Amino acid sequence: MTRPVLVMMRPLPLPLLRANGEEIEVRQFQGDFSLFEGATVLCSTVLDVIDADFIAAIPDSVELIANIGTGYDNIDVVAATEKGIKVTNTPVVAEDTADLTFLLILASARQLTANQNVLRAGRWTTAQPATHMGKTAHGTTLGIIGFGQIGQAVARRAKGFNMNVIYHGPSRKPAAEKLLDATYFETLEELLATADIVSLNCALTAQTRHIINAETLIAMKSDAVLVNTGRGALIDEAALVAAMKAGHLSAAGLDVFEYEPDIHPGLLELNNVTLAPHIGAATAQCHEAIGACAIENILAQFEGRELISCVDPQ
């Protein structure tokens, strides 16, 4: 019996895959498209660019692209759909990403980076304990852009801080509104003008790219806090740097960046920006769940079962 063939874009520690190693032939892609001969599944990560040219180069035998990550903006889903290739993701990162979102909300609001820099430079004295005054987070209005799994997980945490939760997205979520006591804002501009803290938790699409730009930044409160754990290109980083250097916004917390792993040098210079290297899902437990989800989709494809997290064809 011929073993099904899986091509992986990069070596990944997937224990469940190794457990099925006798039944699956695993090939490591290194630029040679001949490796795809007879392959049924391609396993990629959000760091791999699977564009229209790449998809055109792989043979018709490939039926599934199993992407490791919640987002799949690294894949040209339209091109994949046109070729009859299904795409799956691993939407199991909501709770861990929401944890990090709230870490950035609190660290940014309380000016943790600026105050830590004072401490590390040896400039902290008991006579001046709060060199950089923060702002209160509890009881404020939190505006969430994107009210899917992660956005709603952020909202659940916000209720513990007695926050007023408002949200904006492409569609209203009445059941989630009732459960989380959240209010839907039809326009982005209205939400930005109302929120004390803005959290970006939406997917990156043609419509949301640079959703935060020079124009929408001006719509925000001058002392607002901006947090992004979605995708880096949701923000025009040059516009954000310009706005913050001009004194607009009190702080920002960023886990994702427009041109990862490169970061706009202006962000590195700002004391009131808290930065993290895309670690929203970086816990051992979350990575185990991500791997299990990806492998379940791969095995389901090989065995003719229903995929557990197929993204919408486009």
My answer on whether 54 and 192 are in the same domain is: no
Interior/surface letters 184-212, b for 16+ CB within 10 angstroms, e for the rest:
bbeebeebbebbbbbbbbbbbeeebebbb
Question: Is the pLDDT score of 52 beyond 90?
Answer: yes
The structure tokens listed for 84 are 């009859």
Residue 312 covered by a domain: no
Give the active site residue among 168, 231, 264, 296. Answer: 231
Rounded CA-CA distance 227/10 in Å is 30
At residue 62's C-alpha, the angle toward residues 59 and 64, to 5°, is 150
My answer on whether 11 and 152 are in the same domain is: no
Give the active site residue among 63, 189, 260, 288. Answer: 260
My answer on whether 288 and 225 are in the same domain is: no
Range of the domain at 196: 94-275
CA dihedral 259, 142, 146, 68 (to 10 degrees): 60
Of 26, 49, 51, give the one whose Cα is nearest residue 39.
Answer: 26
My answer on whether 102 and 236 are in the same domain is: yes
Q: What is the pLDDT of residues 280-289, one digit of tens each?
A: 999 999 999 9
Residue 309 covered by a domain: no
Give the mean model confidence (pLDDT) for residues 117-141.
86
Supply the DSSP symbol for 20.
T
Q: What is the pLDDT of residues 164-201, one digit of tens each?
A: 999 999 999 999 999 999 999 999 999 999 999 999 99
My answer on whether 257 and 173 are in the same domain is: yes
Give the active site residue among 237, 258, 278, 296. Answer: 278
My answer on whether 137 and 152 are in the same domain is: yes
Question: Is the pLDDT score of 135 beyond 70?
Answer: yes
Residue 310 covered by a domain: no
Residue 77 covered by a domain: yes
Looking at residue 166, what is its pLDDT? 99
Mark whether 172 is an active-site residue: no
**What stretches of the chain show up as alpha helix (H) in DSSP?**
15-19, 52-57, 77-82, 94-109, 112-120, 149-160, 174-180, 188-194, 214-219, 237-245, 265-269, 284-303
Supply the DSSP symbol for 259.
B
Mark whether 305 is an active-site residue: no
Please tell me the total count of domains within the chain: 2
How many H-runs (helices) and E-runs (strands) does the chain carry? 12, 12
Rounded CA-CA distance 270/114 in Å is 9
CATH of the domain at 213: 3.40.50.720
My answer on whether 212 and 291 are in the same domain is: no
Rounded CA-CA distance 277/255 in Å is 6
My answer on whether 167 and 227 are in the same domain is: yes
- What's the predicted TM-score (pTM) here? 0.89
My answer on whether 249 and 293 are in the same domain is: no
Residue 24 covered by a domain: yes
Mark whether 18 is an active-site residue: no
Looking at residue 128, what is its pLDDT? 67
The structure tokens listed for 24 are 């699956």
Give the mean model confidence (pLDDT) for residues 220-234.
98
Give the mean model confidence (pLDDT) for residues 63-90.
95
Residue 313 covered by a domain: no
Rounded CA-CA distance 213/235 in Å is 6
CB atoms < 10 A from the CB of 68, how many? 26
Helix (H, G, I), strand (E, B) or coil at 154: helix
**Rg of the chain (C-alpha set):** 22
Q: What is the pLDDT of residues 136-168, one digit of tens each?
A: 999 999 999 999 999 999 999 999 999 999 999
Q: What is the pLDDT of residues 250-277, one digit of tens each?
A: 999 999 999 999 999 999 999 999 999 9
Give the mean model confidence (pLDDT) for residues 54-83.
95
Rounded CA-CA distance 143/205 in Å is 20
Question: Is the pLDDT score of 313 beyond 80?
Answer: no
Backbone angles phi, psi at 111, to 5 degrees: 55, 45
My answer on whether 71 and 131 are in the same domain is: no
Task: Tell me which amino acid residue 276 is.
Answer: A
Question: Is the pLDDT score of 16 beyond 70?
Answer: no
Q: Taking the chain, what is the end-to-end CA distance rounded to the nearest angstrom?
A: 35
My answer on whether 175 and 299 are in the same domain is: no
pLDDT band at 12 (very low <50, low <70, confident <90, very high): confident
Looking at residue 71, what is its pLDDT? 87
The structure tokens listed for 166 are 């408002």
Looking at residue 23, what is its pLDDT? 77
My answer on whether 183 and 35 are in the same domain is: no
